[in-house]
Structure formats: structure tokens, C-alpha cells
């Protein structure tokens, strides 16, 4: 089955700096890679996703890149703000349209200090 | 994005009792819902996949007789933790994917279960 590795487990940055979180996956059949932000005591919130036929996707301060050959994808947050502080999870799924579940990485706790 | 409503948000119960958690898709129909479990400072672990009108598919190591899942309609799935014990204390989160071949998975707000 799919295995998703995520690094780093914790990340501390100064407000305004960039933050990068990296994930690798094992199943070459995986073709959908979302990123979620989870605040304490709440459910995960989808912030951006990418499909395997796209190498990069950007939404304002957030971008995701995908390297299918190397089986890794990354989340980039620019101009970080204190409200970006949360736990971020990457995930992977093969054939999501067919009902396949997401497999999550272990999460990265991002702390943005002002 | 689509809204998934989950309740209760928090429940405290005595050991041996059963607890039901509801998950509703408010503005879309969900043929498939997923139930995850999360321990403090850990990742989300898939417990089971719930398909409307059929039996749930449980992940290895998850007791189907303990964690009863019902998905009776396209907008509602329930998870019942039967004969709860302190080790069942955890954060339970449901998620749903819109019908029609959509990829995006939306999560409920989670239920913190504490078994005394």
C-alpha cells in the first residue's frame, strides 16, 4: 500500500520568511496530492491540491510542486504570517474518483513568530 | 469548499457505554465517506471507508464489531463506538467526497471522545 513520508516534523520561521515542507510517496499509481492545514481541535482544511499531470500549482502565497519521477512533492508558503501557524499534512491517493482514501504524512508543525 | 458537519464535537462517556458520532454532508451528496482516527500530535489514520447502501470496508486492525459504521443515505454516515474503553479515547474525524467522480476530500470538525 501507499506510504507517505513528510519532513520536517517541526518548522519554525520568522514572519515574512518562506516555509517549505516536503513529502515523498511510495505508490507510483498515486495521482492526487492534497495538502491540509489543521488547527488545534479542528478538522483538516484543504488548502491546495495537485494532480499528477501538473508539475506546479500556485494559489496566492501557497504553491505546491510535484516531481513524479522522484515521487516527491512540496508545499511552499511565502511571506508567512502568524496565522499560518498550524499543523500541515500532505496526502496521496490513487484513483480518488473511484473512492480510494487519502493516505497522510505524519504532519509538520509550523510556527511563525512575529 | 463543500461543508461536512460532524457532531458532537466533544463527548465524555463512562467505560462500557456506546457513543454515536454523526457526519453529514450539508451541500453535496457523498457516495463515499471516510472515518479517520487521530491521537494527540499524530497523523490521521484511516479506520474505514463507508459507501452509501453497502457495508463499510475496514482497515487492517480496526475491529468492525467495535466501530460500527452506517451510511444509510447520501448525506449521512454514523460511527458508533460500542462498549467504549479508555483506550478508545481519541479524536475521530469524518470526511466526504462529493459524488460524481470528484477528487477533493472535505473533513468534518472532528469529535474528541474521552472515555472515563
pLDDT digits (tens, 9 = 90+) for B28-80: 888 889 999 999 989 999 999 988 888 899 999 999 999 999 988 889 999 99
- Closest residue in A to B102 (Cα–Cα): A97
Chain B touched by A105 (CB under 8 Å): yes
List of E strands, A39-107: 45-51, 56-59, 62-67, 72-77, 86-92, 103-104
**What's the gap in Å between the CA of B82 and the closest CA on chain A?**
23
Distance CA A107, CA A77 (A): 15
Q: Do B93 and A44 touch (CB under 8 A)?
A: yes
Chain A touched by B47 (CB under 8 Å): no
pLDDT band at B100 (very low <50, low <70, confident <90, very high): low
pLDDT in tens, A38-65: 999 999 999 999 998 889 999 999 999 9
**Of the candidates A44, A99, A109, which has its C-beta nearest B49's C-beta?**
A99
Going from the C-alpha of B62 to that of each of A85, B45, B58, the distances in angstroms are 32, 10, 6
Report the length, in residues, of chain B. 116
| Residues of A with Cβ-Cβ distance to B49 under 8 angstroms | 99, 101
**What's the gap in Å between the CA of B83 and the closest CA on chain A?**
24
- Closest residue by Cα to residue A59 from A90, A35, A94: A35
pLDDT at residue B101 is higher than 70: no
Amino acid at each position: 500500500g501507499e506510504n507517505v513520508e513528510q519532513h520536517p516534523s517541526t518548522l519554525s520561521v520568522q514572519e515574512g520568511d518562506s516555509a517549505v515542507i516536503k513529502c515523498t510517496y511510495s505508490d507510483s499509481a498515486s495521482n492526487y496530492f492534497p495538502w491540509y492545514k489543521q488547527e488545534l481541535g479542528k478538522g483538516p482544511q484543504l488548502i491546495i491540491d495537485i494532480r499528477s499531470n501538473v508539475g506546479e500549482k500556485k494559489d496566492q502565497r501557497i504553491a505546491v510542486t510535484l516531481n513524479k519521477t522522484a515521487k516527491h512533492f512540496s508545499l511552499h508558503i511565502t511571506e508567512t504570517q502568524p496565522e499560518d501557524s498550524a499543523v500541515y499534512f500532505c496526502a496521496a491517493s490513487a484513483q480518488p474518483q473511484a473512492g480510494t482514501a487519502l493516505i497522510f504524512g505524519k504532519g509538520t508543525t509550523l510556527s511563525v513568530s512575529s | 469548499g463543500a461543508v461536512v458537519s460532524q457532531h458532537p464535537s466533544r463527548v465524555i462517556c463512562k467505560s462500557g457505554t456506546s457513543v454515536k458520532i454523526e457526519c453529514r454532508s450539508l451541500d453535496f451528496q457523498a457516495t463515499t465517506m471516510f472515518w479517520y482516527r487521530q491521537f494527540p500530535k499524530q497523523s490521521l489514520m484511516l479506520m474505514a471507508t463507508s459507501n452509501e447502501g453497502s457495508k463499510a470496508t475496514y482497515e487492517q486492525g480496526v475491529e468492525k464489531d467495535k466501530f460500527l459504521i452506517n451510511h444509510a443515505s447520501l448525506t449521512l454516515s454514523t460511527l458508533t463506538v460500542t462498549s467504549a474503553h479508555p483506550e478508545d479515547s481519541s479524536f475521530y474525524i469524518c470526511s466526504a467526497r462529493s459524488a460524481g467522480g470528484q477528487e477533493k476530500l472535505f473533513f468534518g470538525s472532528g469529535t474528541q471522545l474521552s472515555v472515563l
